[in-house]
Amino acid sequence: MVKLPCSLENEGICAGCQATVKELSRTLKHVTSEPISQRVPVLLSTVCRKENFKTYDITPSVIEETCKLMMKNNRTAIEATLVNYYNAKSRLDHSYLDIVQTICSEVTSFCPGGGGAATEVPKKGGVVYNRETDSFDVIPGENVKMVRPSKQNHEEL
């Protein structure tokens, strides 16, 4: 696990990672004549600018700091992941949620759900990305409480 600067909290760094990947995805999902393997390194050099994050609810400086930390610690792995992901023609119709889960949970561990945290999901519960359905699954547990349906009908209550 990466040691976080005191200015970044776990929720902020996770949201910052998600915003960064969303910005990367926004550009990379458009097909151009330039190969992905050339586009990704250029984009990684420019994505961490504060002006790229002005439309988010999180303070742009928090996202910028998270983005820079991502590039400092995981740039090579992020680059390889993006190139592999966007080279696959089957990914063209998918949302960015899969790549967010991969980079923010598995590559950087900035969000819960990657690495060792996966074994805790059934007990603690959580929201996890389902690659097969391209959506999120809610797993009830200690951290996620859901109302359980009653077997009684309306008149019995």
Burial of 22 (0-12, 13-18, 19+ CB in 10 A): middle
Q: What pLDDT does residue 12 have? A: 82
Domain chopping of the chain, boundaries = 10-114
Q: What pLDDT does residue 144 have? A: 63
Contact 86, 29 (CB under 8 A): yes
Q: Kindly report the average pLDDT of the chain as a whole number.
A: 79
Q: What pLDDT does residue 96 have? A: 78
List the alpha helices (DSSP H) in the chain: 10-28, 36-46, 60-87, 97-100, 121-124
pLDDT band at 91 (very low <50, low <70, confident <90, very high): low
Residue with the larger pLDDT of the pair 142 and 1: 142
